[in-house]
Amino acid sequence: MTDTARRAAQLTLAAALVGFLLGFGALWLGLMDGATTFWGFGTACLLQVPPALSLRGRIRDGLGNSGLERERLTLRTVSVLMRCLAVGMAMASTSALLGERGPQANLLAEGIAGLAVGLLGSMWFAKHRLREAHPTFALDADRALLLVELAALLLVGSLLSRWFMWADAVAALAMALWLFFSGHAMAKATALPPARTGCGGSCSCG
């Protein structure tokens, strides 16, 4: 395994762990406080764990055709679930706006949102540096960027909730729209071309 592939494998494992911890934390807080942004963001984080683990398996196999079909199936499934999540968030947000209700702002929510931006931003930056090494790494960096963008919306919604009761619902609607189109783009990415060689061949993983 090359140094680049080894670094990518470490990042995918770290991404899976961060996604799992942030996902459950945000999901729990969202369900407890009735914050659509938090349970939506938490679910989105958890949905990115399977692609990370699938990619780790492909890296371990040399990034050849072995495991490619499994990765395609994983991405197709996650893309469908992301769009279902987007629809659910849009419905919950619309209900909250019509009912003129919203979660109370609190320091814990703002702290988790800020932590998410910092952790996921660092993860994306590290993955972005590897995107030229292999097309699969570029797709992984795009998925990492999606979580950073969702975390930024989460933070903005949390801060604005101090003054505007509808801030969480509006931020959740924006998240839902972003998730839906990102899920559609992920579905298109399942048409990954078969690799001619693995990382040990002529690709630029080294």
Domain assignment present for 63: yes
Give how far Cα 16 sits from Cα of 35, 92, 145, 194, Å.
Answer: 24, 27, 14, 25
Domain that holds residue 126: 3-188
Domain assignment present for 200: no
Domain assignment present for 202: no
Domain assignment present for 203: no
Domain assignment present for 145: yes
Q: Which tens digits make up the pLDDT trace of 134-187? A: 888 888 999 999 999 999 999 999 999 889 889 999 999 999 999 999 988 887
The pLDDT of residue 205 is above 70: no
- What gap in Å lies between CA 95 and CA 139, rounded to an integer? 34
Domain assignment present for 104: yes
- Total structural domains within the chain: 1
- What gap in Å lies between CA 46 and CA 61, rounded to an integer? 24
* 20 token code pair: 């799992």
Domain assignment present for 124: yes
Q: Which tens digits make up the pLDDT trace of 70-96? A: 888 889 999 999 999 999 999 999 998
- Read off the pTM: 0.88
